[in-house]
Amino acid sequence: MSFSDLTTDRLVLRPWPAEEAAVAAAGERCPHWAADFPSEADRMIAGRLTREPERPHGHYLMIERETGLTVGAIGLFWPPTDGAVEFGYGVAPSRRRRGYTTEAARALVAFALALPGVSQVYANVDAANVASVRVLVKAGLRPVGTVATDEGPLHRYVAEWRGTDPA
C-alpha cells in the first residue's frame, strides 16, 4: 500500500522518503529541515523505516507550507490490528504552540478512518503530557481508559469510524 500527500491549511504531510529516513537515521540533517528537526524519537522511527524498506508504513513528514521546511513528523503504525491503527507525532520545539500538531492529527485521523479495514485510530499518551492530551482532544479523539505499555500505564484516546458498514 502506498500513501500520498495530505494537505492542510498550513501543512503538507508527505510520506517520509527512504532517502530522508536514511539521513535522519544516520544522525545527519537535510537542508530543508527546521534547525531543531529531527528529534531523537524521529531518528528512531527513521531507523525503523530504513531497516524495513519493503514494509508499507504510514509515516509522514510535516512540511510547513509557508517556508517549505520540515517541522515535524506524524505517522500510522501500520498495519492495523483488528481494524485499529495507532498513530504518533512530534513537532520541532521551534514550531510548537502553533496548532500544527492538531492540524496534522486531524488530517491523518480522517485519512486513516477512510482506509479499507480501519475502523479505529488511537494514540497512547502519558497523562502528564498535557500538551499532547490537548492535541488529541482538539483533534477529536476521546479518552477510553488506560493501557499497560513498556513505558508504564498510558491513557488511550480514540477516534472511530461513525458511518455505516458499506459491506
Cell (9 digits) for 7: 494537505
pTM value is 0.92
Rounded to whole angstroms, the Cα distance separating 139 from 147 reads 20
SS3 90: strand
User: pLDDT tens digit string along 18-54?
Assistant: 999 999 999 999 999 999 999 999 999 999 999 987 7
Rounded to whole angstroms, the Cα distance separating 33 from 90 reads 14
Q: Is 47 exposed, middle or buried (0-12, 13-18, 19+ CB in 10 A)?
A: middle
**CA angle, residues 136, 138, 144, in degrees to nearest 5:** 45
**CATH classification number, 6-160, choose in 3.40.630.30, 3.30.450.40, 3.40.640.10, 3.30.2130.30:** 3.40.630.30
What's the confidence (pLDDT) of residue 10? 98
What's the confidence (pLDDT) of residue 25? 96
What's the confidence (pLDDT) of residue 102? 97
Question: Nearest Cα to 139, choosing from 127, 118, 121?
Answer: 121
Q: Chain-centre distance of CA 62, in angstroms?
A: 9
Rounded to whole angstroms, the Cα distance separating 166 from 3 reads 22
Cell (9 digits) for 130: 498535557
